[in-house]
């Protein structure tokens, strides 16, 4: 009797395993068919993300939905800069490699922390002129210690890259061995003692363009050339999970899955694409990277800050953050002076101070 029960349980497990596999295959096939029918320039296939359940995928899209309402902010204030830009740029090969290795955020909505920390790693190597340095900063410190970043809900439940940028300016981040990544919210008290004394910091940060308006390709390219890799935000559609290689653009019929933060490391005018580092490990995409079409920058519909907007388009770079060693000239808006409403204003007023125990989680 026990043996029959055992075989029955095993049969259920095998059935569920095959059912999940068939679901994944069917889903990927639909994306592949859409790519072919629409003449898109990328390849879809089974990936580490397509093998996950919808809830598990959602957990890896940890950027909180945009709610920013700013005027006059941004390095370029929405206008393309009048600069002679190179036809291509890749900070992995720009007189050296200024981009650290691809990490995996796991089942935690901490993409915002990985994007902000990755930008700080690149910033540090560029400032110190140390390409190829084995530098890995603590993403966990951001997740566990920047309570304001996630509206005090826990860093694995999502966060904002602009608040993380302010944390990188005011508090900084220590090396990875100070507080190794756990894939959970964790406690700031578990970080090494006096971690702020050994933290890496930025001089200042600013939005590349006004975050409540669509970005533009030339502004993102100019910021990459002038300041290095950028932490950027975009809306993820379900077809993106099956990306293998090529130049991604959204296929018609795909649906909004959530919002995501990544590290923009380069561009290529010939391919009309940006080069982007993700935080889903090296088994996804092209060794953890993806190329995304310039057209996705203007693939924006409606007000991104409207929670009822269920299909805003990819809108790549709708929020993009640059780091600088010195204060940005004529910076019109800071996190404390931003024209936010309600919770935004309260949260960022506290965040701008970063002198209270709330910022350290103690």
In this structure, the number of other CB atoms found within 10 A of the CB of residue 249 comes to: 21
Q: Are the CB atoms for 83 and 225 separated by under 8 Å? A: yes
Q: Which residues have C-beta within 8 Å of that of residue 281, sequence separation ≥ 6? A: 48, 102, 103, 104, 288
Known catalytic membership, residue 145: no
Catalytic residue flag (residue 194): no
Q: What is the CA radius of gyration of the chain?
A: 21
Q: Is 162 a catalytic residue?
A: no
Closest listed residue to residue 227, CA positions, set 111, 100, 328: 328
Which residue in the list 94, 185, 206, 278 is annotated as catalytic?
278
Say if residues 242 and 31 touch (Cβ distance below 8 Å): yes
Query: Which of these, 63, 35, 91, lies nearest to 315 by C-alpha position?
Result: 63
**Per annotation, catalytic residue among 185, 260, 300, 315:** 260
From the list 94, 108, 111, 145, the catalytic residue is 111
Query: Tokens 């363009």 label which residue?
Result: 209
Catalytic residues: 111, 260, 278
């Amino acid at each position: 009797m026990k043996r029959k029960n055992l075989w029955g349980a095993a049969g259920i497990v095998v059935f569920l395993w095959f059912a999940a596999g068939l679901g994944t295959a069917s889903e990927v096939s639909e994306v592949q068919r859409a790519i072919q029918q629409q003449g898109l320039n990328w390849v879809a296939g089974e990936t580490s993300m397509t093998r996950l359940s919808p809830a598990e995928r959602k957990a890896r899209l940890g950027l909180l939905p945009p709610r920013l309402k700013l005027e006059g902010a941004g390095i370029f204030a929405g206008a393309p800069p009048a600069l002679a830009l190179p036809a291509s740029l890749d900070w992995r090969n720009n007189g050296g490699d200024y981009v650290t290795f691809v990490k995996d955020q796991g089942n935690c909505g901490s993409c915002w922390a990985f994007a902000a920390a990755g930008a700080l790693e690149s910033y540090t190597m560029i400032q110190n002129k140390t390409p190829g340095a084995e530098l890995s900063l603590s993403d966990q410190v951001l997740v566990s210690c920047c309570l304001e970043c996630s509206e005090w809900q826990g860093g694995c439940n999502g966060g904002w890259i602009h608040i993380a940028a302010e944390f990188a300016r005011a508090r900084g981040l220590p090396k990875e061995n100070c507080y190794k990544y756990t894939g959970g919210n964790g406690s700031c008290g578990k970080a090494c003692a006096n971690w702020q004394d050994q933290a890496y910091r930025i001089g200042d940060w600013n939005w590349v363009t006004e975050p409540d308006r669509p970005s533009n390709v030339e502004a993102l390219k100019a910021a990459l050339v002038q300041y290095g890799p950028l932490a950027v935000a975009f809306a993820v559609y379900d077809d993106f999970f099956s990306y293998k290689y090529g130049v991604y653009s959204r296929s018609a019929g795909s649906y909004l899955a959530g919002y995501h933060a990544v590290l923009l490391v380069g561009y290529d005018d010939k391919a009309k694409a940006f080069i982007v580092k993700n935080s889903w490990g090296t088994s996804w995409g092209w060794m953890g990277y993806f190329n995304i079409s310039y057209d996705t920058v203007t693939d924006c519909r409606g007000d991104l800050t409207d929670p009822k907007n269920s299909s805003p388009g990819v809108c790549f770079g709708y929020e993009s953050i640059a780091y600088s060693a010195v204060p940005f000239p004529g910076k019109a808006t800071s996190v404390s002076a931003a024209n936010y409403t309600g919770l935004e204003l309260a949260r960022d007023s506290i965040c701008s101070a970063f002198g209270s125990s709330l910022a350290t989680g103690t």
